Amino acid sequence: MPGDSDHIVADIAARIFADFADPQTVNSAADGAWKKRLWQALGDAGLPLAWVPETLGGSGASMADGFAILAAAGRSALSVPLAETLAAGWLLSRAGLDAPAGPMTVAPVRPNESITVDGEGRLNGRAAGVPFAFDCETIAVLADGGKRVALVDREDCRVAQGHNLAGDASNVVTFDRVQPLRLARAPDGFDAWSLPLMGSAIRSTQIAGALQTILSLSVAYANERVAFERRIGKFQAVQQNLARLAGEVAAALAVSASAADAVAQAGDFDEAKFLEVASAKIRTAEAAAEGSAIAHQVFGAIGFTQEHILHRFTLRMLSWRDDFGNESYWAAELGQRVARGGAGEFWPLVASR
C-alpha cells in the first residue's frame, strides 16, 4: 500500500481510525458520540491541519504525508470532515491565512458555481453539495474565480439540510453578504481550477483507499461463504469477478497515487498536472462504480443490509465521485484540452508523466 511504511503520520492516522472509527463499531453506534472522541484524537495528533505550516497554526506535514492520511481515511470510509479540513487548511495557508481549530469544509465544490466578493469585502453566492457543511464550524472559500481566499463562520451562512448517498451531511450553502472572518488574495498561479483540482486529487485518493478495503472484504467473504458445498471463492465465475475488481482497485490506486505525487510537486497546475488529476478523478470514479457493483454481487443479500459494513465503503465512494466535478465533467474538460493541443502533442503529454 502506498504510504504505509513510508509515512509515519499515516500509520498514526490508521491507528486512530482503527481505535476510534472502526467501521463495524461505527456502523452499529447508537449515536454520533464517537465522532467527538475521534475528532479529539485526530486533533491531538495534529492531523486535521496537516497541510498547514506550523507558523500558521498547523502541524506542517508534507503534501505526501497528507495524501497518505487521506488514503488511510478512505480505507476506513471515515465519515468526519478530515479530508475537507485538510483541503481548507491547504487553501487558507496557500493564501497566507492561519487556520482555526475545529472541523472545516471548503466551497465551492461543484463546477460552474462562483462565490464573489463585493466592494465591501462581503461574500455572495451559492454553493451546492458542500460536504459536511452542517458539521463544520468554518468554511474556506475560493472566491472571485480563484482570485481570493476567505474563511467564513458557518453560522453566518444559510445552510440547508441535506446529505449524500452515504448519509453524510452535504449541504447547499448560501452566502448573502457574509462578512468573512479572514480574507486574502489568492497566491499567484491560482485560478478557479485550483480548488477543484486539489479536491479531486483528494477524493481520488479516498476512493482508491475505500476500494482497497472493499477488495479485501470481498476476498475474505468469498473464502468463507459456502454455497453448493463449496466456498464461493472456488467458483470460476466469482474468481473472474474478483479479478476484475482487483483490476479496478489497481487502476484506482495507480492513478490516484500518481495524481497525488504530481500535486505534491512544486509548481502551478499545468497541463501535465491537469492530465494527472482529471484522469484520477475520471478513472477512480469509474472504478468506484464497477467495484461497488462487483463487491455487492459477491456479498449478495447480506451486503445489502444496514447491519453489514459494505455500504459504508460503497456508498461513500460513490458519493465522492460527485464532489469537485464528476467524471463526465472532468472528461469533457480533459477531452477539450487534449483536442486543443492537437494530435501531435497528445503522446508527448502522456509520455511526459
Q: 128, 160, 246, 289: which one contacts other proteins (CB under 8 A)?
A: 246
Neighbouring C-beta atoms of residue 251, cutoff 10 Å: 18
Q: What is the spatial distance between Cα 329 and Cα 285, in angstroms, rounded to a whole number? A: 12
Q: What is the spatial distance between Cα 109 and Cα 192, in angstroms, rounded to a whole number? A: 11
Name the nearest CA neighbour of 320 among 270, 263, 252, 267: 252
Please report how close the Cβ of residue 212 comes to other proteins at its closest, in angstroms.
Answer: 4
Please report how close the Cβ of residue 78 comes to other proteins at its closest, in angstroms.
Answer: 16
Q: 242, 294, 309, 315: which one contacts other proteins (CB under 8 A)?
A: 242
Terminus-to-terminus CA distance in the chain, angstroms?
Answer: 21
How many residues bind other proteins (CB under 8 A)? The answer is: 61
353 binds other proteins (CB under 8 A): yes
Please report how close the Cβ of residue 336 comes to other proteins at its closest, in angstroms.
Answer: 5
Please report how close the Cβ of residue 271 comes to other proteins at its closest, in angstroms.
Answer: 12
213 binds other proteins (CB under 8 A): yes
Chain centroid to CA 191: 20
219 binds other proteins (CB under 8 A): yes
Q: 279, 292, 314, 319: which one contacts other proteins (CB under 8 A)?
A: 279
286 binds other proteins (CB under 8 A): yes
Which cell goes with 280? 484520477
Reply yes or no: is the peptide bond before residue 187 cis, omega within 30 of 0.
Answer: no
Choice between 194 and 279, CB closer to other proteins: 279
Calculate helix-pair angle for 194-222, 82-94, nearest 10 degrees.
Answer: 160
225 binds other proteins (CB under 8 A): no
236 binds other proteins (CB under 8 A): yes
Q: DSSP 3-state helix, strand, coil percentages of the chain (rounded to 5)? A: 55, 15, 30
DSSP string of 106-136?
EE--STT--EEE-TTS-EEEEEEEEETGGG-
Catalog residues that contact other proteins under the rule CB under 8 A: 1-2, 75, 212-213, 215-216, 219, 222-223, 231, 233-234, 236, 238-240, 242-244, 246-247, 249-251, 253-255, 257-258, 260-262, 275-276, 278-280, 282-283, 286, 327-328, 330-336, 338-340, 342-344, 346-347, 350-351, 353
